[in-house]
Chain A
């Protein structure tokens, strides 16, 4: 036999192996922790849901990409106040889900928390109030606070969704018919992230609805709460008739329901401004002039751009007219349809402003006038588009027979336009593109309508975004949640129970029994 080999396995080596295993374990743990660390930073996420419910739009992603590189953190706090019907629950769940996607996609730059005001415990709410330095008096239930440093924006959860109470079964919460949380969150975050706000100049001097005036025909709610607080625009009131024309620094001119006609100098200045790539939004109405004077100069000015605003009142048919409550004697009220309040029938999806609107989109028109286009009148280089149409049964009645611009005493039958846009560069414009939007209604966004909670600002907001070059916000899709509710009848209930609780386990037993018997047999 050969000489003995050195001891292959000794007590020392055994201890060595134990240490070795400990080191291996430590290494493995380090590798796994590292792996998880990397994976939490570089990851992929696939949305398998049928409607891609959790996939944020490209526009939102672009915004989050920019935010991700920023320094400050964004905080979103939902002050949720549940109601007894559970009507907001589905909306809250969707809001939470989508906020989680914002958090994930911004790599934690956007944080959110949901505080339940009635059920969440007082302490948590007070703690949050303290942490975010919230002035409680300015809050209403279901407000959502967006915060970046000391800048903040407040949106109400009610703006995130639309519900349908009519089809909800007795005692059941209503169904969500639309969810535009992403649009609102993205635009609000966008507003927060902006260094310098976009300036909107509200024209004054023609008895316009004023952002400074509250109540009735005032525009304070829309201008202050929506445009300023939520969307982050800067609001100015401007005079355009002066020698200096449209003041410098105004990014877009907004003419909100003028009751007096423009002067020649107003129009001249406006023309100069627009020819050089200016932006303007005109909200017109069916009742332009109480004194008998018409908006002749203004309408003629618009016609130069190929947009024809009618001196008429749009009368809707029963299908598109909205129901209103008319207070009667002794506290009773009459629910009836007002033919001057209606929903349009069709949106032009080929234009960006209305590209994401489908025919169910809730936009209200109140006492509107028609807005048509005449491309032949438009200057070279300017393209005109009708954005919104009525249905065929709606008509427009001329209110001022003496003005026989295009319908001599006769009503105009639908469908016709309610809003139009003009865009392009006229000859000699070396600057940006000129953009004009004319909407045949200003009343729908005045404080009175906001008070009735039927204001639907999406068309005007999208117009402003388009005019202000914020196309990426319009690009965010509102989502229509699919109805997946399922109420079982008694027989269906029994069927589900039989199959799930008896039949399926029986399969396992039968399969097992067969297997067992065949195994036993030789």
Chain B
């Protein structure tokens, strides 16, 4: 459905999007993840034919976004981040107008508008002026507009931005519902949003695509170490020494306490050391209250990638290098 190759966009010397390549198959729900200003919106604007790329190719449904932009525009529904609407129009009026622009035949127009009004829950406000609507309703109006002509591809830029938690949940459900019908590309900077809605994630940072895959495979693919957390009652120094002596342990941090000491451990990813750890603690006669492996989250990955980049500004982040294993990285786990 989407085919993007070496896409570059420069604004006045600043490279907003830098050689992005990806493709989206029909029926996928793809989450575009990245911090603000990472290049998500720019990429989406190029795909929706708002402006052309500086270099590279973007194709939607086999049509080039530059040379066949009319064909592309007919096939997509696009909701920009700010959800621009005409405040002086009534909801239904606006949807009818947009349906007409998007080529919904006259006979089907009323039906199409009715359908999107009910499916996006706008029934109660259909006669209201858009300017008087709440943020949530505006977002729904924007969504309704994007789908009124049953597009093959739906591009939603930050569809939940600025909503309260209740509205976010509603919009998210709506998106899930939509995802069953069309191919969907949505962007967000909120991590669990993609985890909840997307079947695949494109992680973009500083204009570059840094990772892509299902939420699980992403984390798996980028895991560079296994982390464990133990709580042990015993002489702290001795426990520390014993744990450090276990083979394959690459890092350890000890937060001393009067009674139960907390230990964070890192090891090479190849082996699960939990049995070994338990055996060591219990074998030395110390008490073990807790032992768990700390799974890496998407958020960890996100933070890891962006921090790496900030450490080496300007450097290309084409692949993720393992973080250096240090004895006392305090950033390991705010749970």
Q: Which residues of A line the B interface, CB within 8 A?
A: 1, 4-5, 7-11, 14, 519-520, 522
B128 engages A1 (CB within 8 Å): no
Point out the residues of chain A lying under 8 angstroms from B67, CB to CB.
8
- B66 interface residue, CB < 8 Å from A? yes
Q: In the bound complex, do residue B55 and residue A9 qualify as a contact, i.e. CB atoms below 8 Å apart?
A: yes
- Closest A residue, CB atoms, query B62: A2
How far is B90's CA from A519's CA once the two chains are assembled, in angstroms?
9
Residues of B within 8 A of A1 (CB): 3, 23
Chain B residues numbered 50-65 whose CB sits less than 8 Å from any CB in chain A: 52-57, 59, 64
B57 touches A8 (CB 8 A): yes
Which B residues are in CB contact (< 8 Å) with A522? Answer: 127-128
B172 close to chain A: CB less than 8 A: no
Residues from chain A with a CB closer than 8 A to the CB of B56 are 7, 9
Chain B residues in 8 Å Cβ range of A8: 57, 64, 66-67
Q: Complex formed: what's the CA distance from A5 to B59 in Å? A: 10
A10 to chain B, nearest CB (A): 5
Cα distance, A246 to B67, chains bound together (Å): 91
The size of the chain B interface, using a CB distance under 8 A, is 18
The 4 closest A-B pairs by CB, nearest first: A4-B5, A9-B52, A9-B66, A8-B66
Contact residue among A4, A11, A14, A519 (Cβ-Cβ distance under 8 Å from B57): A4
| A-B residue pairs in contact (CB < 8 Å), sample of 18 | A1-B3, A1-B23, A4-B5, A4-B6, A4-B57, A5-B57, A5-B64, A7-B56, A8-B57, A8-B64, A9-B52, A9-B55, A9-B56, A9-B66, A14-B54, A520-B129, A522-B127, A522-B128
Chain B, interface SS category: strand
- The chain B residue with its CB closest to the CB of A1 is B23
Question: What separation, in Å, do the CA atoms of A10 and B52 have in the docked complex?
Answer: 10
Contacts of A5 in B (CB 8 A): 5, 57, 59, 64
| Whole-angstrom distance between the Cβ of B143 and the nearest chain A Cβ | 23
Instruction: Give B contacts to A, CB under 8 Å.
Output: 3, 5-6, 23, 52-57, 59, 64, 66-67, 88, 127-129
Other than the known A4-B57, A8-B64, what 19 A-B pairs have Cβ atoms closer than 8 Å? A4-B6, A5-B5, A5-B59, A5-B64, A7-B6, A7-B55, A8-B66, A8-B67, A9-B53, A9-B54, A9-B56, A9-B66, A10-B54, A10-B55, A11-B54, A11-B55, A14-B54, A519-B88, A522-B128
Complex CA–CA separation, A292 to B7 (angstroms): 120
A512 nearest CB across to chain B (Å): 14
Q: Which residues of A contact B59 (CB under 8 A)?
A: 5
Asked if A519 and B129 make an inter-chain contact with CB atoms under 8 angstroms apart, the answer reads yes
Q: Are A7 and B57 in contact (CB under 8 A)?
A: yes
Q: Which A residues are CB-close (under 8 A) to B53? A: 9
For the complex, what is the distance from the CA of A10 to the CA of B9, rounded to whole Å? Answer: 10
- Closest A residue, CB atoms, query B21: A4
User: What CA separation (Å) do A522 and B129 show in the bound complex?
Assistant: 8
**Chain B residue contacts of A10, Cβ below 8 A:** 54-55
Specify the chain A residue showing the minimal Cβ separation from B132. A520
Closest Cβ of chain A: how far from B123's Cβ, in Å?
A: 14
> Bound state CA distance, A4 and B21, in angstroms?
10
Chain B residues in 8 Å Cβ range of A520? 129
Chain B residue at minimal CB-CB distance from A6: B57
- Report the bound CA distance from A1 to B66 in whole Å: 20
Question: In the complex, which residue of chain A has the Cβ closest to the Cβ of B68?
Answer: A8
A11 — which chain B residues lie within 8 A by C-beta?
A: 54-55
Question: Inside 8 A of B54's CB, which chain A residues have their CB?
Answer: 9-11, 14
Measured CB to CB, the closest approach of chain A to B187, in angstroms, equals 22
User: What is the CA–CA distance of A4 and B66 in the complex, to the nearest angstrom?
Assistant: 15
Q: In the docked arrangement, what's the CA distance between A522 and B6, Å?
A: 50
Task: Tell me the bound Cα distance from A215 to B292 in angstroms.
Answer: 138
User: Complex formed: what's the CA distance from A442 to B53 in Å?
Assistant: 95
When chains A and B are docked, how far (Å) is the Cα of A4 from the Cα of B22?
A: 12
Closest to B88 in A: A519
Whole-angstrom distance between the Cβ of B298 and the nearest chain A Cβ: 26
Query: Which residues of A lie under 8 Å from residue B66 when comparing CB positions?
Result: 8-9
**CA of A9 to CA of B64, assembled, Å:** 10
- Determine the distance from Cα of A10 to Cα of B127 in the docked complex, in whole angstroms: 46
CA distance A11 to B54 in the complex (A): 6
A9→B56 CA distance, assembly (Å): 6
Q: How far is A11 from B52 in the complex, measured between Cα atoms in Å? A: 11
Residues of B within 8 A of A519 (CB): 88, 129
- B128 proximity list for chain A (CB < 8 A): 522
Residue of A nearest to B23 (CB): A1
| Contact residues in A for B5 (Cβ distance below 8 Å) | 4-5
Bound complex: CA A11 to CA B9 (Å): 10
Cα separation A10 to B64 with both chains bound (whole Å): 14
Cα of A433 to Cα of B117 in the assembled complex, Å = 93
B88 partner residues in chain A, CB cutoff 8 A: 519
User: Which chain A residue has the least Cβ–Cβ distance from B64?
Assistant: A8
Per the bound structure, the CA–CA distance linking A520 and B128 in Å amounts to: 9
A14 to B67, CA, bound (A): 13
